[in-house]
Amino acid sequence: MNNQNKWNKSTYKYLLSIFLYLISIHIYAAAPGVAFPVNTMTNGNQYLLDIGMDSSGRSIVLWQDSAQGNLSFMRRYTNDTPFQTSEWYVGSTTDTATDGAGNYVTVHTASDASGTGVYATVYDQYGNIIVNTFRVNSVTTGDQNGPTVTMNTSGEFAVVWTGYQSGVAAVYARKFHANGVPYSNDVMASSANGSSQYAMDIDMADNGLFAVSWVSFIPTGTITDVWGRRMSSTGGALGSAFRANTYTTSIQAGTSIALDASGNFIITWESYSQDGNEYGIYGQRYSSTGSKLGTEFRINNITTGSQQLATVGMAANGDFAVAWQHDNRNNDPSSNPSIQAREYFANGTPKGNQFQVSPESSDAKNFKPKIGMDGNGNFLIAWQKYNVPTAEYDVYARYYYNVPVTVLTNGVTVTNLSGSADSWQYFKITVPPGTSTMDVNMRGTTGDADLYIKYDSLPSDTNWDIRPWLNGSTELVRINTPPAGDFYIGINGYTAFSGVSLEVLY
């Protein structure tokens, strides 16, 4: 509990007026934190590679630095708090994943006996090597490249890659114990049907089941389809490979896959012309046995422009979130690409419409998102932000809290609020354009509740726009000329409180 001295209500008659610069409306299905830079070295371009997140909320953001010989760096977070003050150098790593204890695995490609092979290294949470670098692929014929790795809570991990062992691009996978001992040799996940098939993504449930997804090129044309396959807890293939997309016209590509704690999963992809205007984002849900749950569905509710590079994360209970890149410059050359996202319940029902993740700015273009979701449904989205003034890319991220947020209605009072010391309750009000004033009124006579207000993101005791911080539970705020969009209100128990009401009037 914060024990600093508070302003005395008998000494100060509090009325706060604040002007915030006008920016675009954002509609969120979850409670957002503040967008923040990930890389601390800013020379050159930073290109996002991936996010790894475990079930408890520990995550890794991985990127490539053009000013450092295109080598890779990473930074780790616990929920939305940096675990590292600055980035760590991780060589030529192209993907990473983390387990429930904070240990992590990295993968990269390097020369083997014949062309390129896939290699992995396992580290503890402090960056010490616990499994020395070893070759993942058991067969060295042809090139092996494009590896992606997943790890479960107990530290088991599996790798998928594109291999040319048979002379044609095919998808291979291999699973390992936490100590790096393989369960089996390479397993070809894709079908030997003569088409070229390129590995895209992999994810694993806590019980060790995992699934992979890939893009398959039709041998006689330019059409591509999205495929997947379930894999057993011992690394073998389960059932047959299956095509995820039902719509088969033109191009389906850019796949991502995520599993819940029981092995139910979703595959997402981009489909050209299906939504009527360039690319759209689509998904298909599956049970743990591989049966389709419902039908193929469109994820983006805004269809203008191109929606691409979908990335999906799934909570333990099956709730999921999808992020993607939205680019409408073909229709509106003055617009900037942005990062969009949408949340869903486990049954496939959307929690709301799509919402913008990257803050609106005329000086920023945003590309290539990646998402990580923990077991409780909190998630982190990272992306490449192109800074127009400097003409360079940096990596940014934003954390979303899976906490109850009560949506307020203008002029309607919420009553009988209570809470213990150090507790938080959250509310949201969406302000229309042209609003002259907004009054936020909290009233109460029992205990000491504090009012926190922040535009565009969830407030905390260290990050807020307005905080009266008076004795008692009555705090009144007026905001002059508020920008259109979402204001988040937090009520924090400095001490236990009860009988408190909250009203917003604009």
pLDDT digits (tens, 9 = 90+) for 62-115: 999 999 999 999 999 998 899 888 999 999 999 999 999 999 999 999 999 889
> Average pLDDT for residues 268-291, to the nearest whole number?
96
What SS3 class is residue 250?
A: coil
Q: What is the pLDDT of residue 466?
A: 97
> Average pLDDT for residues 164-170, to the nearest whole number?
91
Q: What is the pLDDT of residue 219?
A: 64
Q: What is the pLDDT of residue 80?
A: 86
Q: What is the pLDDT of residue 79?
A: 87
Handedness of CA 80, 398, 62, 151 (dihedral sign): positive
Q: Which helix (H) or strand (E) holds 468?
A: none
pLDDT tier at 210 (50, 70, 90 boundaries)?
A: very high
Which tokens hold the place of 331?
Answer: 């229709």
pLDDT tier at 166 (50, 70, 90 boundaries)?
A: confident
Which has the closest alpha carbon to 237: 171, 304, 294, 320? 171
Residue 11 has pLDDT above 50, yes or no: no
**Least confident interval from 69-83, 206-220, 474-488:** 206-220
Q: What percent of the chain has pLDDT over 70?
A: 93
> Average pLDDT for residues 250-272, to the nearest whole number?
95
Average pLDDT in the chain: 92
Residue 7 has pLDDT above 50, yes or no: no
Which pLDDT tens digit goes with each residue over 412-435?
999 999 999 999 999 999 999 999
> Average pLDDT for residues 104-133, to the nearest whole number?
95
Q: How far apart are CA 341 and CA 312, in angstroms?
A: 9
Kindly list the domain boundaries of the chain, sorted by start residue: 405-505
Q: What is the pLDDT of residue 367?
A: 97
Q: What is the pLDDT of residue 481?
A: 96
Q: How far apart are CA 347 and CA 505, in angstroms?
A: 36
Structure-token match 């799509």, residue found: 354
Separation in Å, CA 165 to CA 89, 151, 193, 216 = 32, 25, 14, 17
The identity of residue 28, as a single letter, is Y
Q: What is the pLDDT of residue 221?
A: 61
The β-bridge partners of 470 are: 7
Q: Which helix (H) or strand (E) holds 133?
A: strand 129-135
> Average pLDDT for residues 22-51, to the nearest whole number?
79
Q: What percent of the chain has pLDDT over 90?
A: 88
Q: What is the pLDDT of residue 223?
A: 84
Q: How far apart are CA 107 and CA 95, in angstroms?
A: 6
Q: How far apart are CA 137 and CA 398, in angstroms?
A: 35
More confident residue, 223 or 212: 212
Q: How far apart are CA 109 and CA 388, in angstroms?
A: 33
More confident residue, 4 or 224: 224
pLDDT tier at 29 (50, 70, 90 boundaries)?
A: low
Q: How far apart are CA 155 and CA 206, in angstroms?
A: 9
For residues 447-476, one letter each, b for 16 or more C-beta atoms within 10 angstroms of the residue's C-beta and e for the rest, the string is bbbbbbbbbbbbbbbeebbbbbbbebbbbb
- Which CATH number is correct for 405-505, 1.10.357.10, 2.60.40.420, 2.60.120.380, 3.40.50.970? 2.60.120.380
More confident residue, 16 or 492: 492
pLDDT tier at 202 (50, 70, 90 boundaries)?
A: very high
Handedness of CA 89, 91, 92, 97 (dihedral sign): negative
Q: Give first-to-last CA distance, the chain, whole Å.
A: 32
The identity of residue 283, as a single letter, is G
> Average pLDDT for residues 22-48, to the nearest whole number?
77
Q: How far apart are CA 187 and CA 288, in angstroms?
A: 20
Q: What is the pLDDT of residue 40?
A: 95
Which pLDDT tens digit goes with each residue over 171-198?
999 999 999 999 999 999 998 777 899 9
69 contact partners, CB below 8 Å, separation of at least 6: none
